Structure 1
Amino acid sequence: MNEPYTPTTPRPTSTGSSITMKIFICFLSVFIVAQTIGTALFCLYFHMQLDKLKDGMSLNEDFLFLKRLHECQKPKGVESSLLDCKKITDRLKHLLMKRTRIKTSINHRFCLVADVRRHPVAAHLAGIKKGNKSVPVLEWKTTGYAPTNNLISYKEGKLKVEKAGVYYIYAQVSFCTKPAPQAPFTVYIYLHLPLESDRLLLNGLNTHSSSDLSCGLQSTHVGGVFELRQGDVVFVNVTDSTLVNYNHGSTYFGMFNLN
Structure 2
Amino acid sequence: MQAPGSPSSRLTSVLILIFTVLLQFFCMAVIYMYFTSELKQMQDKYSKSGIACFLKEDDSSWDRNDDESMNDPCWHIKWQLRQYIRKINLRTYEETISTVPEKQQDSPPLIREKGHQRVAAHITGTSPRRHTFLVPSSKNEKVLGHKITSWESSRKGHSFLNNLHLRSGELIIQKTGFYYIYSQTYFRFQEDDNISTVENRKKNKQMVQYIYKTTLYPDPILLMKSARNSCWSKDSEYGLYSIYQGGIFELKEDDRIFVSVTNEKLLDMDQEASYFGAFLIS
Deviation at 1:197, TM superposition (A): 1.6
With normalisation by structure 1, the TM-score equals 0.51
| 2:272 match | 249
- Determine which of 139, 162, 170 is the counterpart of 1:149: 162
1:200 partner amino acid: L
| 2:147 match | 137
| 1:44 match | none
Higher relative contact order (CA 8 A, sep 6+): 2
Deviation at 1:116, TM superposition (A): 8.4
Q: Does 1:233 align with 2:236?
A: no
- 1:140 partner SS: coil
| 2:175 match | 163
User: Contact 2:205–2:263 (CA<8 Å) still a contact in 1?
Assistant: no
Unaligned runs of 5+ in 1: 1-104
Deviation at 1:195, TM superposition (A): 4.0
Aligned runs of 1:32-51 on 2, under 5 Å? Answer: none
Deviation at 1:186, TM superposition (A): 0.1
- Determine which of 185, 195, 205 is the counterpart of 1:173: 185
Q: 1:116 to 1:205 in 2, by over 3 A?
A: farther
Q: 1:188 to 1:165 in 2, by over 3 A?
A: same
- Determine which of 199, 210, 219 is the counterpart of 2:232: 210
Q: 1:246 to 1:214 in 2, by over 3 A?
A: farther
In the alignment, the residues of structure 1 paired with residue 91 and residue 179 of structure 2 have an alpha-carbon distance, to the nearest angstrom, of: 25
Q: 1:242 to 1:107 in 2, by over 3 A?
A: closer
The number of equivalent residue pairs is: 154
With normalisation by structure 2, the TM-score equals 0.48
Provide the aligned C-alpha RMSD in A: 3.1
| 2:30 match | none
In the alignment, the residues of structure 1 paired with residue 121 and residue 251 of structure 2 have an alpha-carbon distance, to the nearest angstrom, of: 15
- 1:148 partner SS: strand
Aligned runs of 1:57-206 on 2, under 5 Å? Answer: 109-110=92-93, 117-128=115-126, 131=131, 135=135, 136-138=146-148, 139-142=150-153, 143-144=155-156, 145-150=158-163, 152-177=164-189, 180-181=201-202, 182=204, 184-193=206-215, 195-206=217-228
Deviation at 1:184, TM superposition (A): 1.8
Q: 1:177 to 1:196 in 2, by over 3 A?
A: same
- 1:231 partner SS: coil
User: Contact 1:165–1:258 (CA<8 Å) still a contact in 2?
Assistant: yes
Structure with larger Rg: 1
Deviation at 1:120, TM superposition (A): 1.4
| 1:27 match | none
Deviation at 1:202, TM superposition (A): 0.4
1:141 partner amino acid: E
